[in-house]
């Protein structure tokens, strides 16, 4: 099957704001993002809705895949590649390639914006920031961390 890695680009800032993957046509996936900006409270959709922005979808890579897991791993490689080049993305969760143990977390938009600014200044991905914060909190509760 064919998998696609794409980025959503802010038409105002002309910068990528999100990387995703799909097996469907990109125009269908973009419609889902546009609809979600009205119904979801994830930070990317808060940003799009509050600024009345419709993102531009751009194909990054099209590849033959054997499983959805392969596609998610490739998506994450693109997220890491862009964030290492200083691009701040709204991707804040590594795509799930293993069974999920809990749902997503909700973070106040103002706090998320402050975190995003810190990440930009220090060249760190949002995911890495949240991982470090979680590890720090686990240590305070004397919970052993496996790494």
Spell out the SS3 assignment of 21-90: EECCCHHHHHHHHHHHHHHCCCHHHHHHHHCCCCCEEEEEEEEECCCHHHHHHHHHHHHHHHHHCCCCCC
Query: Residue 95: its pLDDT value, please?
Result: 65
Question: Where does the pLDDT of residue 99 fall: very low under 50, low under 70, confident under 90, or very high at 90 and above?
Answer: very low
Query: Residue 56: its pLDDT value, please?
Result: 96
Query: Residue 93: its pLDDT value, please?
Result: 66
In the predicted model, is pLDDT for residue 143 greater than 90?
no
pTM of the predicted structure, to 2 decimals: 0.64
Superfamily of domain 2-140: GIY-YIG endonuclease (3.40.1440.10)
- The percentage of the chain sitting over the pLDDT mark of 90, rounded to a whole number, equals 33
- The percentage of the chain sitting over the pLDDT mark of 70, rounded to a whole number, equals 86
């Amino acid at each position: 099957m064919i998998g696609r890695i794409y980025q959503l680009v802010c038409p105002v800032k002309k910068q990528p704001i999100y990387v995703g993957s799909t097996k469907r046509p990109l125009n269908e996936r973009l419609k889902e993002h546009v609809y979600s900006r009205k119904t979801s409270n994830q930070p990317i959709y808060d940003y799009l809705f509050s600024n009345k922005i419709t993102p531009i979808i751009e194909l990054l890579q099209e590849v033959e895949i054997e499983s959805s897991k392969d596609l998610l791993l490739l998506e994450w490689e693109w997220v890491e590649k862009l964030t290492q080049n200083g691009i701040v993305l709204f991707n804040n969760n590594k795509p799930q390639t293993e069974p999920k143990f809990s749902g997503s977390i909700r973070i106040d938009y103002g706090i998320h914006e402050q975190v995003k600014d810190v990440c930009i200044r220090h060249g760190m991905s949002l995911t890495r920031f949240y991982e470090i914060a979680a590890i720090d909190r686990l240590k305070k509760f004397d919970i052993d961390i496996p790494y």
